[in-house]
Amino acid sequence: MEQKLHTETLCIQAGYSPESGDPRQIPIIQSTTFKYATSEDMGKLFDLEASGYFYSRLQNPTCDMVAAKIAALEGGTAAMLTGSGQAANFYAMFNIAGCGDHIVASSAIYGGTFNLISVTMKRMGIEATFVSPDATYEEICAAIRPNTKLIFGETIANPALNVLDIEVFAKAAHDNGLPFIIDNTFATPVNCRPIEWGADIVTHSTTKYMDGHGVAVGGCIVDSGKFDWTKYPDRFPGLCTPDDSYHGVTYTERFGLEGAFITKCTAQLMRDLGSVQSPQSAFYLNLGLESLPFRMKQHCANAQQIAEFLQANPKVAWVKYCGLPNDKYYKVAQKYLPNGSCGVISFGLVGGRKAAETFMKHLKLGSIETHVADSRTCCLHPASATHRQMTDEQLTAAGVGADLIRLSCGLENAEDLIADLKQAIEKV
């Protein structure tokens, strides 16, 4: 029933249906534990024979209500919240890939995820091959090995702003018996629902637009319930064979395709690694979700106007934003993001690094932050901040040239923002 409702309605109503006399807003169940009448009652929960709450490291009602809302928004069958976007991406991959396995990932992904895959997961014995975000079907297939467990990408890459051809990546994955996991943080389900294009698992850093006010770090994993793990029991033994740490439960048998992935991720990974989101943070996230469609519209409208202003300014050397008709990703964005992409733009000034430093110094409304996707406009010059240890050559290789300025357009009035950018550019 929920899937037929529009996004605006789901953002308000999904995940929580109060009964007569219940609180209208989602209650914050700020409790670590839950009381039971008998040990037998509780034992059934531990054996996953009955569903219910016993300890908030595994599940908490407030977090579950918000996860259910995000599952409805993405058109998935199950979801879980995590303590951060990093935890969401790690859990989503580690739930099916372990020591001795291999994954294929787009090279244009968030720096933290790139590090997670190329350094930390490598230390755990998981190898990775990175392919271009513009890779063809054949190029993606060529990177797949017998021990590959998944393919990973981002809808709109942070900070490269490439738009992924989701259908190409999903088809390459499926033709090789693999799930396609996609980080949909920048687009949000308001602008793109990757499951409709073939993605199997969707992840989020809810810290960004979903929260949208810069108040709570968090993440989410959504399962489409569509990938048939049971067709490849040898490739995905964790989902298709008994789990000794849960009295021999086989997740796909007990919970079906719609629940196996998230139940295993909760019962094993959250139990053992414990990157939970707090009920209080989930409550803030839910407030952000209520206004998400309206905020995304405004973020995109502001970014479009600002991108057009920048492109017309002679002191601006280049602008990257997929809403501009001459952008490399305009066509693919028209397909996957017809209602808008996100509020993040990157650009460079004539005069490169030096010009960028001067520009940043004179910005008044745009504040200097590493954050993006917030109601307040924020701006970053990676070469003089987050990436300052790198040489110009290293910066170019990383796709973050010395001149690159990343601008996250907030919800302020576009004319005010443009006036601020204009005066800062004039100082250069």
Residue 208 within binding range of ligand PLP, rule CB under 6 A: yes
To the nearest whole angstrom, how small is the minimum distance from the Cβ of residue 399 to ligand PLP? Answer: 14
Nearer to ligand PLP, 260 or 342 (CB): 342
Nearer to ligand PLP, 59 or 84 (CB): 84
DSSP H or E segment with residue 221:
strand 219-223
The Cα diameter of the chain in Å comes to 74
Spatial strand order of the sheet with 219-223 comes to 78-82, 219-223, 201-205, 180-183, 148-154, 102-106, 127-131
Full DSSP string of 91-112: HHHHTT--TT-EEEEESSS-HH
Residue 188 within binding range of ligand PLP, rule CB under 6 A: no
Stretch that binds ligand PLP, among 80-88, 258-266, 338-346, 358-366 (CB under 6 A): 80-88
The binder of ligand PLP chosen from 85, 293, 323, 401 (CB under 6 A): 85
Site mask, ligand PLP, residues 219-248, x = CB under 6 A?
A: x-----------------------------
Nearer to ligand PLP, 86 or 268 (CB): 86
Q: What is the footprint of ligand PLP within residues 87-106 (CB under 6 A)?
A: 89
Q: At CB < 8 A and 24+ separation, what contacts does 111-116 make?
A: 111/159, 111/386, 112/85, 112/86, 113/86, 113/89, 113/152, 113/154, 113/183, 116/86, 116/89, 116/90
Stretch that binds ligand PLP, among 7-15, 79-87, 124-132, 261-269 (CB under 6 A): 79-87
The binder of ligand PLP chosen from 104, 140, 217, 289 (CB under 6 A): 217
Distant-in-sequence, close-in-space partners of 39: CB < 8 Å, separation ≥ 6: none
**CA distances for 169 relative to 105, 159, 297, 370, angstroms:** 10, 20, 27, 29
To the nearest whole angstrom, how small is the minimum distance from the Cβ of residue 310 to ligand PLP? Answer: 22
The binder of ligand PLP chosen from 7, 162, 185, 224 (CB under 6 A): 185
Question: What is the Cβ-side half-sphere exposure of residue 376, based on CA atoms within 13 angstroms?
Answer: 13
Interface with ligand PLP (CB under 6 A):
84-86, 89, 110, 112-113, 154, 158, 183, 185-186, 205, 207-208, 217, 219
